[in-house]
Every structure is written in C-alpha cells, then in structure tokens.
C-alpha cells in the first residue's frame, strides 16, 4: 500500500445508536478511496463488532466487512484493532491510496505518528504501522 492516512471524525459512543442528525460523508480525492471504520462493544455477549466500509471518490462501495471478535481489555484496544483491520482489509482489496476515517481520536493520532506508542494498545499501533 503506497499511501494510508487516518482522520478523526466526531466522537461517538461505542454503543450502537441511531444518529440524532444526518451524517454527511465527504468523498476522498480522485483515485483515492475512503475507509470508514467503527468498533462496537457488546458487553452482554462478551464480544466486539468491527465494521469497515470502503468507498471510491464517487461514493461507490469497493468493499465492506463486519466481524465479531472476543471482547478485548479496553475501548482503546477495540479501536486499535479495527484500525489495524482496516489496513489489512485495504491490502486484501489491493488498494494503494486510502484515507481511513474513525472516531477515536487517540487511536487516529497514534496511527499518524511515527514515534513508538507506549500506551497499552501500542503493540497494535506498531503492528498497523
């Protein structure tokens, strides 16, 4: 993969809810794709849902996935895991230029910095990079 950028979108709770206002999707530059990702915790099931949708600059869906995994130790781990999954999914699809957009500021910032991440989820960030 040649280029991968992460951007933060508005913070949202990890409990699935209907949005109170419409969310406007903005397209990536021509020849790029945008991957929107989110993690959702299902405490009562002891699991987490990872969701990714990748669209081209016209808004057409290139790929989408939803996976359920066992509940990790922290919310940050959930977001770091879905951030890592978006990278591997884009590679599986053979995409070269991808902007990834998620709502966890600490994870997005960590993925964009080349310095070593000393947080508990740091190994996931390093693996993603």
What residue segments make up the domains of the chain, in order of their start? 27-128
Q: What is the mean pLDDT of residues 2-29?
A: 62
Question: pLDDT tens for residues 110-126?
Answer: 666 677 766 666 555 66
pTM: 0.73
Contact 103, 6 (CB under 8 A): no
User: 2 or 96: which carries more pLDDT confidence?
Assistant: 96
List C-alpha distances in Å: 13 to 19, 38, 67, 70: 11, 10, 19, 19
Name the CATH architecture for the domain at 27-128: 2-Layer Sandwich (3.30)
Compute the distance between CA of residue 46 and CA of residue 8 in angstroms, rounded to an integer.
27
* CB 120 within 8 Å of CB 74: yes
């Amino acid at each position: 993969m040649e280029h991968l950028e992460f951007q933060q979108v508005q913070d949202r709770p990890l409990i699935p809810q209907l949005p109170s206002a419409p969310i406007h999707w903005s397209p990536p530059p021509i020849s790029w794709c945008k991957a929107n990702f989110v993690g959702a915790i299902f405490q009562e099931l002891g699991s987490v849902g990872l969701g990714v949708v990748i669209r081209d600059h016209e808004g057409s869906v290139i790929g989408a996935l939803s996976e359920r995994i066992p509940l990790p130790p922290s919310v940050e781990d959930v977001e770091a895991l879905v951030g890592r999954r978006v990278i591997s999914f884009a590679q599986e699809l053979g995409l070269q230029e991808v902007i990834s957009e998620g709502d966890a500021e600490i994870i997005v910032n960590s993925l964009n910095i080349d310095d070593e991440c000393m947080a508990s989820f740091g190994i996931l960030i390093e693996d993603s990079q």
